[in-house]
Amino acid sequence: MFKRLVLTALLAACGLVRAELPEPVAKAAAAHGIPEDAIGLTVMRGNSVLLSHHPERAMAPASVMKIATTVVALEQLGPVFRGRTELLGSGEVVDGVLQGDLLLRGGADMDFNEDALVHMLEKLRLKGVRRIRGDLLLDRQLFQPARMDVGVPPFDESPEAYYNVIPDALLLNNNMLQVEMVSDARSVRAQALPMLHKVAVRADMKLVDAPCARWEDGWRLPGYERNGEQLTVVLRGTFPRNCSKTYAINVLERQDYLERLFRAAWSRLGGEFSGEVREAPASAPAPATTPAMRLLAEHVSRPLPELLRDINKWSDNGLARTLYLSLGSLQSDAALGSRPLEPLPVLAPDGSVAAPLPSAARAEQAIREWMRQHRINDSGMVIDNGSGLSRTERLSPEQLAGFLSAAQKSPWAPEFQASLPIAATDGTMRRRLRDSPAAAHARIKTGTLNGVVAIAGYVTDANGEQCIVVGMVNHERTGNGAGRSITDALIDWVARNAAALKVLP
């Protein structure tokens, strides 16, 4: 066994792109019929490469792509960054009536939910506003295009699922309805939160004799029916008898959702509103340059390190995509977080302001520029949305190792490492490697798609030294735990044996 480890180290030290896989990793691959050629990995300690196997190959990364997004975001935006939502008014308040429009301006606030909106409207009531004479304008112009979900085909067969929500700069409550389904022996009842203006829910579901734990087997894509102003969300499929489940769904058009939540919340606060809710024009004035549009209330998100924990520990695609779009559009500000809300100008070579780029292109530029600054080769890398929920994104093991190495040396290394799942403890690693020395000592980002399993992070070796570990498997047989057994074997091998490896100069 020791000879095998030394051989692996020698191959890596000599710069070969394909080294022999560690025995436990090779056995796991062979047991599931996955060829070694479908595996890419890199193991480093400090600046020394201990093991590399197809390290230069650009592979589908799944959610380990979030490593790139979160490392660059923490470096570019800083640990005090906060997204923000602003409520502005264009008129004076006379006898409790706001004589003008309201403008709700989105600023990549990843915590903007029902409670935040209600709190902002409560502040409006405390300012003496009882009635709004104008309209409510919704400003999503921070990101371009303002609605990236328009006309985009669904990623998979579950477009209503939370992980598939496509963000914008003014996404309220992630556009989700929490639907509670309760059945007895004869019927299914359904209700939903938050309470939306003139929205009901109905369960057109057939009762079946099945375990409650298998309720999703009969779930079908829900829809909604419109009757004038009334909307009815319709749940479809089958549901077990004597079962109770809650599920979050994204089925309403997001402008409709925001309008109905606003009307319901404002009415409960005793407010009156008879205007329209509509998109703000692209030329909506900025509060800093237009005195007539003044700030009435605002909400700020949690600091970036807290959001990174949600993104990486639980692999939150929506938050990751919002953060990705913020790169190149927002800048760090120690006092105000995400100001200004307007996209940062793009300068042409002659110093003039160039035509604005789409937000995704600006984000990609920010990541590639960061890689160049850190001497990481970006050849072969493909970025789609920065979350890994993509069939086109590509990243190589050595590129991922480069991100992790730079993060290890960053002033914000503690904040970044605290965002990663801890083996056998929390996040997506909470049930993995419980009987390994890596348990509670490895911080690992995971990634899974059909045909893709990947891991990337830090593993403490037998000498207590921290190693960078990246493992990627791209093969049709990765399902049913096959790919996971390979990446777990790699993590366990590093925790048990990496200290014995010696890399020649």
Residue 472 has pLDDT above 70, yes or no: yes
DSSP letter for 422, please: B
By three-state DSSP, how is residue 187 classified?
coil
Mean pLDDT, rounded, of the chain:
91
**pTM passes above 0.85:** yes
Give pLDDT tens digits for 351-384.
655 567 899 999 999 999 999 999 999 999 999 9
Lowest mean pLDDT among 209-223, 233-247, 355-369, 435-449: 355-369
Q: Rounded CA gap, 386 and 359, in Å?
A: 12
Which residue, chain included where needed, has tokens 């490895």?
442
Residue reference for tokens 């301006």: 105
pLDDT of residue 223: 93
Hey, what amino acid is at 78? G
> Which residues of 160-300 form beta strands (DSSP E)?
177-183, 188-193, 199-208, 219-227, 230-240, 244-249, 272-273, 277-279, 294-300
| pLDDT on residue 357 | 86
3-state secondary structure of 484: helix
pLDDT given for residue 287 in this prediction: 46
Residue 298: HSE in the Cβ half-sphere, 13 Å Cα cutoff? 20
| 282: number of Cβ within 10 Å | 10
| Confidence at 293, pLDDT banded by 50, 70, 90 | confident
Residue partners of 259: CB distance under 8 A and separation at least 6: 136, 197, 277
Residue 90 has pLDDT above 50, yes or no: yes
CA atoms of 328 and 365, how far apart (whole Å): 8
Per-residue b or e along 211-221, where b marks 16 or more CB atoms closer than 10 Å to that residue's CB: eeeebeebbee
Taking the C-alpha atoms of residue 287 and residue 88, their distance in angstroms, rounded to an integer, is 8
- CA-CA distance, 451 to 474, in Å (whole number)? 6
Q: What is the 3-state secondary structure (H, E, C) of 403-417?
A: HHHHHHHCCCHHHHH
Which residue from 86, 69, 149, 151 is spatially nearest to 325, judged by alpha carbons? 69
The confidence score (pLDDT) of residue 68 equals: 98
pLDDT at 354: 57
Instruction: With residue 473 as reference, give the H or E element that holds it.
Output: strand 466-474
Domains of the chain: 2-77+349-500 (3.40.710.10), 84-300 (3.50.80.20)
Decide the pairing of beta strands 452-460 and 230-240: unpaired
Predicted local distance difference test score (pLDDT) of residue 337:
46
pLDDT at position 20 is 84
Cα 464 to chain centroid, rounded: 32
Tens digits of per-residue pLDDT, 320-341? 999 999 998 887 754 444 444 5
pLDDT at 343 over 90: no
Using the predicted structure, report yes or no on whether residue 260 has a pLDDT greater than 50. Answer: yes
How confident is the model at residue 409, as a pLDDT?
97
Indicate the Cα dihedral angle 167, 446, 389, 53, nearest 10°.
140
User: Do residues 103 and 89 touch, judged by C-beta distance below 8 A?
Assistant: yes
204 forms beta bridges with 236
- 412 contacts 422 by C-beta, under 8 angstroms: no
Residue 292 has pLDDT above 90, yes or no: no
Q: Which pLDDT band, with edges at 50, 70 and 90, does 431 fall under? A: very high
93, HSE (Cβ side, Cα atoms, 13 Å): 14
pLDDT of residue 275: 96
Residue 42: both structure tokens together: 């890199």
Residues, the chain: 505
Query: Which residues in 158-194 are b (16+ Cβ under 10 Å) and which e?
Result: ebbbbebbbbbbbbbbbbbbebebbbeeeebebebeb
Q: Is the pLDDT of residue 450 over 50?
A: yes
Does pLDDT of 16 surpass 50?
no
Rounded to whole angstroms, the Cα distance separating 498 from 29 reads 20
Give the model confidence (pLDDT) of 162-201 as tens digits: 999 999 999 999 999 999 999 999 999 999 999 999 999 9
pLDDT band, very low/low/confident/very high, at 82 (cuts 50, 70, 90): very high
460 and 442 in contact (C-beta within 8 Å)? yes
Tokens representing 281 are 């024009």
Average pLDDT rounded to a whole number, residues 250-262: 97
pLDDT for res 501: 59
